[in-house]
A and B are shown apart, each in its own frame.
Chain A
Amino acid sequence: EAEVAQSPRYKITEKSQAVAFWCDPISGHATLYWYRQILGQGPELLVQFQDESVVDDSQLPKDRFSAERLKGVDSTLKIQPAELGDSAMYLCASSASGSGKSYNEQFFGPGTRLTVL
């Protein structure tokens, strides 16, 4: 069964360092999502791609976070510099399409747990 892959699964970094997370969506899925899940809270959408274009990054802290999906396939989420408050689980999800009248289920990867010391 096809799955969303994420790496690394765990990352420990020091404050002010740069970190990067990678996501490989299910093959053929046009829409890719990055969520942040702080301990004790539900996931919050950071950025949404349709193919290689960003369609929603309203909750992305753009002063330190960046995301790209250059070829419309895999994606990288970067934080520079990391802050203590960035400690969280970062989840990637993909769906066949994210718009229109038909609804397509989002499939989630296992996440990357980030700890900032």
Chain B
Amino acid sequence: AQSVTQPDIHITVSEGASLELRCNYSYGATPYLFWYVQSPGQGLQLLLKYFSGDTLVQGIKGFEAEFKRSQSSFNLRKPSVHWSDAAEYFCAVDPFSGGYNKLIFGAGTRLAVHP
């Protein structure tokens, strides 16, 4: 079945530490891949996206993500976390199987940052 999996429901890191949030997808072909962030009471903001080409993509707020076809993964990373990064992070795919664009979201990973 087609799915997006974020294995970690909740992650806590110390400010200044590195971060990696995991995302795996299950689709027949490589879909378009996205990471969104949602702060409390806010809508979703796009951090970065992957369509094709270079497998390491840079996004806003110092985030990057690496696409690994062999592992069907698109993990989000940040070298040094800031307290303001505390939020919920969603991985999403667009199967782009023809017709209209459509986003399928994972369940999210809630990030807490210790001072």
Please list the residues of chain A having a beta carbon within 8 angstroms of any beta carbon in chain B.
4, 31, 40-45, 48, 50, 55-56, 91, 93, 95, 98-99, 103-106, 108-111
Contacts and interface: CB of A to CB of B under 8 A. Distances in A.
15 contacts: A40-B107, A42-B90, A42-B106, A44-B105, A48-B102, A50-B100, A91-B43, A93-B44, A98-B101, A98-B102, A99-B100, A103-B51, A106-B46, A108-B45, A111-B43
A110 B43 contact: yes
A109 B82 CA distance: 25
Interface string B84-115: 00000010101010011111111110000000
Contacts, number: 60
Contacts of A99: 99-101
Best-buried of B32, B100, B104 by chain A (most CB within 10 Å) = B100
A54 to B, nearest CB: 11
B42 interface: yes
Nearest to B41: A110
A44 B105 CA distance: 7
Nearest to B6: A42
B78 to A, nearest CB: 20
B101 A103 contact: yes
- Interface size class of chain B, counting residues whose CB lies under 8 Å from the partner chain: 20 to 34
A42 B100 contact: no
Nearest to B36: A108
Interface in B1-29: 4, 9
Contacts of B44: 43, 91, 93, 108
Best-buried of B43, B45, B90 by chain A (most CB within 10 Å) = B43
B31 to A, nearest CB: 11
B82 to A, nearest CB: 22
B45 A106 contact: no
Nearest to A106: B103
A3 B45 CA distance: 12
A108 B92 CA distance: 14
A16 B106 CA distance: 31
Nearest to B90: A42
